[in-house]
Structure 1
């Protein structure tokens, strides 16, 4: 039975107006201040860094997905009222859409190693600068070099964005204390669904305007440059490198964080033989396979089998990602609340929210595959469940790398994310071989049941083998020094 009163290791309150920081060791749950007030009282430099990571993902993911909407306008003469907006007769749309991912996975491990040596800030600025310049250049490249020029531009953008995730996790492990890991980490990762929502809706609106589709590329390019200016001025790879962080907040972060060997030699053998790492690795693969199946194939299923064209309704199309965004934010705060108030251990919390993010989509896919063709509303509900509940993974396997190895979290993420991008093609690839008739519900059922099985299998692996404590190989150099002494 949980006692009414308890000890909390860290409660950090930051008063911006008075520039005052203090640590408090104990408090009672009957305190007149609500948990929400205590949470939002903690405003510091670390929160600004998390906001920059959220903005980075929002803009970066927006650049990634806006092309699918812009491409429709680029090849449709009725998309804009302006007759001077260029339109192209391209028949290689599939290759154009896939070109971004050609190099996305290639440089992630290299990016993680570079971030450890040079810091995340310089890599993030360089990556965003590359994306911003190319994004602004695409209208001109399309005019001068055609689809192959655009294809090359998108491939380079993918290469550059390969630096995003390893560098972001480098920032998070340096800046986020363990007591705030779930809600601050989730807040940064919430930029993914928010970027999808804004990217599709903004691009559609701009493409239909008098300026046409070229303005959508200029818009996102300018956003990228604005982010660079802001992060250059107010961002830093770690608290030690930030010129304006208060000494008290810096001490709080460094005392609570487990990261201390930012340039230590990577213990590859220990990592590759660690069950805790493989639990995260397979979770990335299972989630990526299922997510890509939902993202790319579900609209086709709903159109051909359910006779419902979800792509014609922008609001309905964005709803699952809006729910995902809300779930990411909510589960992040709720997870930290449960852990910090000792209702759950870190391991229990990670397993529960990870299970929600995997069994939720599995249930949605199974139900969707057996629904009758006329069940439009239940079908949409299952779609929302299948996509939206995946947001809970940001409080599950997605931040577990920071639990088990703060010193090498970006390495674990780079390796797992790179592999997941490769395996994410299994779902769409299976569709090509299994679904020979897009109106055949039985063939689609095989695809959705396979995706559901991948969620369940990898979630089971995670529950069995995951760890929430820092692994021994996290402090390899430190242990070697102690042994020598």
Structure 2
């Protein structure tokens, strides 16, 4: 069929000739128009997913799940291993109102406990638990920019594999001395700091906007999957004596990260058009509904001024910090709380510490699918979805942390409250964790790098603050202070996010910096009032 000017209309075009697409409203009858790079052919295709059960983007997502899970397994393994590494102190066990008495049969449990080989006091333990994050905060922005220059595949893969290598040598470092072990954990943080910015670049490049909420929830469910497996298995490994007991925690999870790297190299690619096995239909579907990010051939200059004068950006930044404070407090300190306050033995501790994150993983999958269905059927604004998800992700932990202040010595209630606090936090992946891609797909990696740098400081601040509060007084009152502080930080930061967040792609997404890019507080408050009056009207 011929068009004016001699242009020929085709049904399909070579995926590798595809340059740019545009589409109208949502629906399976939309058309995309692509101009071939090698000719003046105008190609027309329906905007619909590829035929068949499995697509290249599903492979990327599945490998992303395992990659994130592997990264988190190396991050959290010390939380459990340190209980077997360190000699137990003279724990106070009495029946006062401020201490939980040891349960019946505790003497038998104690006889089966492992006596560690390192004499690290609570301050040193807090320092070791935070060492990872001292390195982690230094490479997030660098990782985002590197992924935008060189591609998310290379940066993410190299970061996880190097983290695996440093993890494998951790036991040797610990035997040499605490200083070298600190350095090894610091190095793991440095190499793993690129993980989330690089993953954000890949999601922004590969995943269509309509599927981004679902795929983000799926990929980042790897956090909870990795945490569950690591905490549960680590307790058993430490107690089993396999490969020396606690050293096996580092050998196994570091080795799995290295193995993952081999599969990542051959199965995943930076951009859809680079994939040698992607179908034409899937390529055109992806390109028609994504705003490209992570360009390897034309990297845009970062509009720093526009970013740092953007109130929606600060909304993500503050909530990211608040969420991580509560998350890292529970992640790194739950095993110690269950050990010192509730007197669970090491094997039970691992399983119970993992249980809340199992609840999170299940909630993430269910919630991600539910949000996707609601979005397609009722079509609420994306801003509504982000706000509702943020509220669930924050108020679940707030209520759970408050409940932790009142469970006292009831072991069952303590575990239920922890599951509630951690489980509902799974909505975060459909909330602020997707907001970076909303504001700027081109700079999603850089934005994630900036916010994750600031938000990772609780990784070393929370253990240090907890150690300072509980030092020499592993009491109920001390832990109530820890939980209450986290709940307060959640509340303040989520309130700020709800007021100032938007899902509109910012003008500086194309690298243009405008003096007027900042959003006034008054304007955002007016928008919030309008939103509350008409919750399904985007703004």
TM-score (norm 1): 0.83
- Matching residue within 315, 332, 335 for 2:368: 332
Find the counterpart in structure 1 of residue 103 from structure 2.
Answer: none
Structure whose residues are more often helix by fraction: 1
Q: 2: distance between equivalents of 1:389 and 1:201? A: 20
When residues 136 and 434 of structure 1 are mapped into structure 2, their CA distance, relative to the original with a 3 A threshold, is closer
- Matching residue within 190, 194, 198 for 1:159: 190
- Matching residue within 128, 143, 155 for 1:123: 155
Q: 1: distance between equivalents of 2:59 and 2:503? A: 27
Find the counterpart in structure 2 of residue 33 from structure 1.
Answer: none
Answer with 330-339 or 130-139: which moved more. Answer: 130-139
When residues 433 and 87 of structure 1 are mapped into structure 2, their CA distance, relative to the original with a 3 A threshold, is closer
Find the counterpart in structure 2 of residue 35 from structure 1.
Answer: none
Q: How does 1:70-85 map to 2 (within 5 A)?
A: 70-74=81-85
Answer with 292-301 or 100-109: which moved more. Answer: 292-301
When residues 293 and 94 of structure 1 are mapped into structure 2, their CA distance, relative to the original with a 3 A threshold, is closer
Say if 2:387 is the partner of 1:351: yes
Instruction: Return 5+ residue gaps in structure 2 as ranges.
Output: 1-24, 31-44, 89-114, 515-539
Find the counterpart in structure 2 of residue 32 from structure 1.
Answer: none
Q: 2: distance between equivalents of 1:169 and 1:260? A: 9
1:370 match: secondary structure = coil
Find the counterpart in structure 2 of residue 418 from structure 1.
Answer: 453
Instruction: Return 5+ residue gaps in structure 1 as ranges.
Output: 1-6, 13-21, 26-37, 78-85, 480-485
Say if 2:169 is the partner of 1:146: no
Q: CA deviation at 1:260?
A: 5.3
Answer with 67-76 or 131-140: which moved more. Answer: 67-76
1:370-414, CA deviations, whole angstroms, 9 ceiling, x for partnerless residues? 34x344333322111111111110110011111121111111111
- Matching residue within 59, 71, 96 for 2:128: 96
Contact 2:216 2:434 in 1 (8 A): yes
Say if 2:231 is the partner of 1:200: yes
Q: 2: distance between equivalents of 1:40 and 1:98? A: 47
TM-score (norm 2): 0.75
Say if 2:326 is the partner of 1:290: yes
Question: How many residues matched?
Answer: 443
Q: 1: distance between equivalents of 2:350 and 2:482? A: 25
Contact 1:181 1:336 in 2 (8 A): no
Find the counterpart in structure 2 of residue 390 from structure 1.
Answer: 425
Say if 2:501 is the partner of 1:466: yes
Answer with 452-461 or 390-399: which moved more. Answer: 452-461
Q: How does 1:37-56 map to 2 (within 5 A)?
A: 43-56=54-67
Q: CA deviation at 1:97?
A: 2.9
1:355 match: secondary structure = helix
1:414 match: secondary structure = helix
When residues 40 and 418 of structure 1 are mapped into structure 2, their CA distance, relative to the original with a 3 A threshold, is farther
When residues 40 and 344 of structure 1 are mapped into structure 2, their CA distance, relative to the original with a 3 A threshold, is farther
1:152-199, CA deviations, whole angstroms, 9 ceiling, x for partnerless residues? 222111110011111111111111111111111111101111111111
Q: CA deviation at 1:123?
A: 1.4
Q: 2: distance between equivalents of 1:204 and 1:325? A: 20
- Matching residue within 254, 257, 260 for 2:287: 254
Structure 1 residue ranges (4+ consecutive) displaced by more than 6 angstroms after TM superposition: 38-41
1:199-252, CA deviations, whole angstroms, 9 ceiling, x for partnerless residues? 122333334144333444332233122211111111111112222212221111
Q: 1: distance between equivalents of 2:53 and 2:513? A: 32
Find the counterpart in structure 2 of residue 136 from structure 1.
Answer: 168
When residues 464 and 267 of structure 1 are mapped into structure 2, their CA distance, relative to the original with a 3 A threshold, is same
